[in-house]
Amino acid sequence: MDLIYASTRNAEEKVTASQAILKGLAGEGGLFVPTAIPALDIDLDDLAKMTYQETAYAVMSRFLTDFTEEELKNCINAAYDSKFDTEEIAPLVSADGAYYLELFHGSTIAFKDMALSILPHLLITAARKNQVKNDIVILTATSGDTGKAALAGFADVKGTKIIVFYPKHGVSPIQEKQMVTQKGENTFVVGINGNFDQAQTGVKKMFSDAKLAKVMDAAGYQFSSANSINIGRLVPQIVYYVYAYAKLYANGEIKKGEKINVVVPTGNFGNILAAFYAKNMGLPIAKLICASNENRVLYDFFSTGTYDKNREFILTSSPSMDILISSNLERLIYRIAGNDAAKNEAFMKALSSEGKYEITAEMKEQLKDFYGNYTTEAETAEVIKDLYEKTGYVIDTHTAVAAGVYHKYLKETNDTDTKTVIASTASPYKFTRSVMDAIDKEKYDSMTDFELVDELSRISNVKVPQAIEDIRSAKVLHDTVCEVDEMESVVKKFLNI
């Protein structure tokens, strides 16, 4: 029997996995969630022998039950191939008492590649399965990394177009250069004069605009989403937690069934939700440690039970986590509200009208597996510098936020016995300026971005990734900039409708 996906805002809306992937967002702004979390009923000794691709099939086939074995294996093999610069796909590096799960070996050197290299294949397969005739228009808001990863995934994929909105002044120079140099007839990149939340809200509004959907349909188009609200992004992210656990076991670092902690640098709450789903499948995870930067809305939520986005939006050196509305948290809220769409909808309505909501004590009780904390800008820089000086290992700013929170967790709990995996979400090459400033600001201040790249390679002994080499000389191909309230007209212009 197929696993069914339900909307977090409407108990009546139920679809299969392929339909959920195709739609991206449910009606009334809801998100699709699996009505049950399948069990990871595979012996760990078997998992320990599996390649990344085999692990991906083992995990994803349990969620995407209306895909045939052949369809799913084709998607997996097309995604996790030589686009990644290591056969392991997601290697584990041990440094200073923790395991860094490097999720940045794909074509855009950030963890978004883990899901966005497979999403286009899942989407095209889902369209075929559901007899869709329209072209799919991927509409995406990005805080920097999703945009490039989605562009790379969808560029020149037949039957698709992709439009990416990013905050013009809220991404790193390398992130921006990566996006505006994107090739592909079907790619469109727009800077908005606003922040990520405004970009995301604008995109969500277009998704739920029935009139716009009609106009699109008449012109032979329909929207879908590559944002982490698409279940087709969430499911592939569960894979690497299972893979990491199996690798730790295979390497003799943990015993069968031994619980590990997972630390995740969090923005939109997609990555950590995937870890939560992995735990619910039966993976032995003790604490889910949710790390925030100075935009500490999630830390406040976990400590008080009140989610309150009414606060200053802070631009930090970990821009992919500069988010005040963590969209995927809705999936957790729905669950701890007893899978009750009406209750969840009331919270989300309060969030959109008052900017906040407070969960009940009963709901808060179910968050015991989570630990939240945050790392300041100064602490983030210190973490990078200390780890480098101690071990020679260089991490990016987002990963450093996670490592900083892990240190606070250890200090508070003394839980030094539990082996801990830190999700390392970006290559330091993606945030070279901030990383090198952290190590020695005075020395590196006067260097250009690409001089810093070469210097980073020298001090870390890590080869400059292809993704960085590619943009050294690439031409700018996208220069559209618009106001927040012009997003819809820009989309219409691109599509000639």
Ligand X SMILES: *Cc1c(COP(=O)(O)O)cnc(C)c1O
Binding site for ligand X (CB under 6 A): 110-112, 145, 228, 265-271, 320-321, 398, 425-426
| Gyration radius (Cα) of the chain, Å | 21
- Give me the catalytic one of 23, 112, 148, 287: 112
**Strand pairing class (5-7; 14-15):** antiparallel
- Shortest Cβ 270–ligand X spacing (Å): 3
Residue 330: strand, helix, or coil: helix
Measured from the Cβ of residue 258, the count of other Cβ atoms closer than 10 Å reads: 15
Residue 483: strand, helix, or coil: strand
112 catalytically annotated:
yes
Residue 136 identity: I
The helix (run of H) or strand (run of E) holding residue 225 is: strand 221-225
- Shortest Cβ 165–ligand X spacing (Å): 15
**Strand pairing class (160-167; 187-193):** parallel
Residue 217 identity: D
Name the residue nearer to ligand X (CB basis): 228 or 344: 228
Residue 441: strand, helix, or coil: helix
- Shortest Cβ 485–ligand X spacing (Å): 25
- Shortest Cβ 112–ligand X spacing (Å): 5
Measure Cα distances from 455 to 28, 380, 437, 462 in Å. Answer: 50, 20, 12, 10
Name the residue nearer to ligand X (CB basis): 249 or 269: 269
Measure Cα distances from 471 to 179, 430, 451, 468, 476 in Å. Answer: 10, 11, 14, 6, 10
Rounded to 10°, the helix 487-495/196-207 angle is 60
Name the residue nearer to ligand X (CB basis): 17 or 274: 274
Paired with 358 in beta bridges are 306
Q: Write down the H helix ranges in 93-183.
A: 112-116, 119-129, 145-154, 173-180
Q: What is the dihedral of CA 281, 102, 191, 224, to 10 degrees?
A: -30
- Shortest Cβ 276–ligand X spacing (Å): 12
Q: Which residues contact 361 (CB under 8 A, 6 or more apart)?
A: 305
- Rounded Cα distance between 378 and 390, Å, is 18
The answer to whether the beta carbons of residues 22 and 132 sit under 8 Å apart is yes
- Shortest Cβ 469–ligand X spacing (Å): 20
- Shortest Cβ 492–ligand X spacing (Å): 28
Q: Which among 247, 245, 240 is positioned nearest to 257, based on CA atoms?
A: 245
DSSP secondary structure letter of residue 426:
B
Side-chain-side CA neighbours of 7 within 13 Å: the count stands at: 17
Name the residue nearer to ligand X (CB basis): 52 or 269: 269
Positive or negative, the Cα torsion across 57, 60, 65, 68?
negative
- Shortest Cβ 273–ligand X spacing (Å): 8
- Rounded Cα distance between 80 and 106, Å, is 8
Q: Write down the H helix ranges in 366-465.
A: 377-391, 397-413, 432-444, 449-460
Residue 226 corresponds to which tokens in the numbers above? 């590559």
- Shortest Cβ 328–ligand X spacing (Å): 7
Name the residue nearer to ligand X (CB basis): 13 or 102: 102
Q: Which residues are catalytic?
A: 112
